[in-house]
A = this chain, B = another copy of it.
Amino acid sequence: MERHRIVIPDVVIVFAGDSGEGMQLAGVQFAHTSALRGNDIATFPNYPAEIRAPQGTLAGVSSFQLRFGSFEVLTPGDQCDVLVAMNAAALKTHLHLLKRGGILIVNEAGFDRRNLRLAGYPEAENPLTNGSLSDYQLIKLNISQLVGAALADTGLSVREKERMKNMFVLGLLAWLFGRPLETLEELVTAKFRARNPEIAAANSRLLHAGYNFGETSELFASRYEIPQAELAPGVYRSISGNEALVLGFVVAAHKAGLKLFYAGYPITPASEVLHQMSNLLSYDVYPFQAEDEIAAISAAIGAAFGGHLGVTATSGPGFSLMSETLGLAVMLELPLVVCDIQRAGPSTGMPTKPEQADLLQALYGRHGEAPIPVLAAATPADCFQTAYEATRLALHWMTPVIVLSDAFLANGSDLWRIPSVESLPPITPPFATEEHKSNGVFHPYQRDTRGVRPWAIPGTPGFEHRIGGLEKEDITGNVSYDPLNHERMVQLRAAKIEQIAAELPPQTVTLGEPEGELAVVGWGSTYGSIYSAVQECRAQGLPVSHIHLRYLNPLPRNLGQLLRGFRRILVPELNSGHLTQLLRARYLVDAKAYEKVQGIPLTVSELVEVIQERIHHD
């Protein structure tokens, strides 16, 4: 039966089920397929902190949000058009995401008495039958049964079959949204083919079964089509923030002609960076799992002293532990990059949830005057650019650099147009040469005109020197307790970091006019939400512009002037107003924060409301 095809610009699908039901895998593969199909994509995985939370419970639900569209997709979407709920707990925890009138696909087998009880539904109350879902297009399927039937003639166990339910759902959705089944099949079976051909074949069969079920059953009145997005020519892939960070560092080290030493300690959501690095032994990457975060950053300093690129990544608690050692790096003026993949705090907080509440710590979380450049990534793919730029600054200016990402960027993914390595700016570390000697003597703190000291590497005869955490005499680097020398060194270190701004491009307006009524200023992972909201408000005719900051320290040299061109400044942040405070202190502008500290991203709709309110309620 040929169904009516509706063309829509984009769609948001949420796969929600128990941790063991393969929701992440289903989401990733569907996203891949959609990207290969020519759509732009954005994804947002969401899983419990526990490794295997008890089956069927609210705490055990794992979900994957995917959006693909025919335009530039900047966020995974506020709400979804399709919700797949594999059990009662998944429905309960994710129904609020489904738009009114949206498609709700449920696995009836996941709504038996036990599942309902575990999800906390009142006794004898079943949402599938009590009419409470009448606002949605409810598609009830006994997926377990359908899968069992499709695989009846295989030797697979019930448990094995249960774990493949996700494939049936994928097949069904492929039919519904016109995704090429072959691509999906290729991606899925590639994962299992070598290790377990039987599983691969069963997966493949279920994809077809789901697809055919859509085709033959009359559950859906129409199918949907999402045209290809207009994308610039190039080579594309989808990429997560953590993957992009790793590639950024690898390429930067390569361009600088250095080994990449990466030290990490397992911590959510930064562990993936360690994993990715560990896979790259043959790319001149030297991965090291340290005994703690202090050892990790210390080791990175050791590598930097040895003349290579030292990198570490962590999250809040580990970043706090690194405070003292970051101060040493400032004193030594050695290049290294520290990534803080922010998560909801304080303390252990909510380890898998995003937040932006480490900004002030990144700026000020060290004793003494210890300025460090701070950069933030805007999107998963932008993590590549941020890592590359952070490395460039670290090596160019002989300084530690902090990169801020968060759980939203780290795990989420979007489309990435792969740059050619040649097109990236060159990186030339200031290695010491004979010219750095005065009367044949090498002075490790003899700065160049930019205020940068030379990098002399052990193994180089004639450049032997000692550096350390004590205040040092200008030029010679010898230990000094002289008051005026100390002040001078504090100023030289600060001036060097401030000087970076002079070499960076001025801040531009990301969207809208360069002056006017309202500037919405953001940083980090809120980029997509803010951009989309400003776009929507501008479409409504509201006088609003978007300014997105990559450089948090030093701030762009023209930022004060730019901000003073707006009557009002709104700063949406996933914290209690960190950037807001910074802008107020620096420029004495009456920036107002929009604070959200829930461990979840900003939605476009809430921002649209806030912008409307700020403009209208004057």
**Which residues of A come within 8 Å of B, CB atoms?**
48-49, 59, 315-317, 319-321, 323-324, 327-328, 330-331, 340, 342, 344-350, 352-353, 355, 357-358, 360-361, 363-370, 468-471, 481, 483-484, 486-487, 490-491, 494, 575-576, 581-582, 584-586, 588, 590, 596-600
Contact = CB atoms under 8 A, between A and B. Distances in A.
B320 A576 contact: no
Nearest to A345: B368
A49 B598 contact: no
A79 to B, nearest CB: 15
Nearest to A364: B360
A347 B331 contact: yes
A320 B327 contact: yes
B575 A369 contact: yes
Contacts of A355: 368
Contact of A345 (B316, B327, B361, B585): B327
Given A346-B327, A582-B585, A599-B486, A316 B368 contact: yes
Given A369-B576, A598-B487, A361 B364 contact: yes
Contacts of A366: 320, 345-346, 361, 365
Given A320-B324, A361-B364, A484-B598, A469 B331 contact: no
Contact of A584 (B367, B483, B584): B584
A93 B26 CA distance: 74
Contacts of A357: 367-369
Given A367-B361, A369-B597, A599-B486, A327 B353 contact: no
Oligomeric state, in number of copies? 2
Given A320-B367, A358-B368, A585-B584, A330 B350 contact: no
Given A470-B349, A481-B49, A486 B344 contact: yes
B576 A494 contact: yes
Contacts of A331: 346-349
Contacts of A347: 324, 327-328, 330-331, 368, 370, 469-470
A329 to B, nearest CB: 8
28 contacts: A59-B481, A316-B327, A320-B365, A323-B361, A324-B347, A328-B347, A330-B347, A331-B349, A344-B368, A345-B367, A349-B368, A349-B471, A350-B470, A350-B471, A353-B486, A355-B368, A360-B364, A361-B366, A363-B364, A364-B364, A365-B365, A369-B575, A369-B576, A483-B600, A486-B597, A486-B598, A486-B599, A584-B585
Contacts of A315: 367
B348 A330 contact: no
Nearest to A342: B367
Contacts of A361: 323, 364-367
B585 A367 contact: no
A367 B347 CA distance: 7
Contacts of A471: 344, 349-350, 599
Contacts of A599: 471, 481, 483, 486
Nearest to A59: B481
B597 A319 contact: no
Contact of A369 (B345, B469, B490): B345
A364 B316 CA distance: 13
Contacts of A600: 483
A455 B340 CA distance: 34
A459 to B, nearest CB: 25
Contact of A346 (B358, B367, B582, B588): B367
Contacts of A584: 584-586, 588
A317 B327 contact: yes
Given A316-B367, A345-B367, A582-B585, A350 B597 contact: no
A47 to B, nearest CB: 11
Contacts of A596: 487
Ranked nearest first, the 3 interchain pairs of A and B with the lowest CB-CB distance are A345-B368, A316-B367, A346-B368
A477 to B, nearest CB: 13
A365 B323 contact: yes
Given A324-B321, A345-B327, A584-B588, A481 B368 contact: no
A360 B362 CA distance: 11
A341 B268 CA distance: 34
A357 B48 CA distance: 40
Nearest to A360: B364
A571 B204 CA distance: 71
Given A360-B364, A363-B364, A585-B585, 16 more contacts: A317-B324, A317-B367, A320-B327, A321-B321, A342-B367, A344-B471, A347-B470, A348-B468, A348-B469, A352-B481, A353-B483, A355-B368, A358-B367, A581-B585, A584-B585, A584-B586
A19 to B, nearest CB: 14
Contacts of A324: 317, 320-321, 347
Contacts of A59: 481
A336 to B, nearest CB: 14
A316 B370 CA distance: 12
Contacts of A319: 367
Nearest to A372: B346
A566 B327 CA distance: 37
Contacts of A598: 483-484, 486-487
A279 B429 CA distance: 54
Contacts of A349: 331, 368, 469-471
Contacts of A320: 323-324, 327, 365-367
Nearest to A48: B481
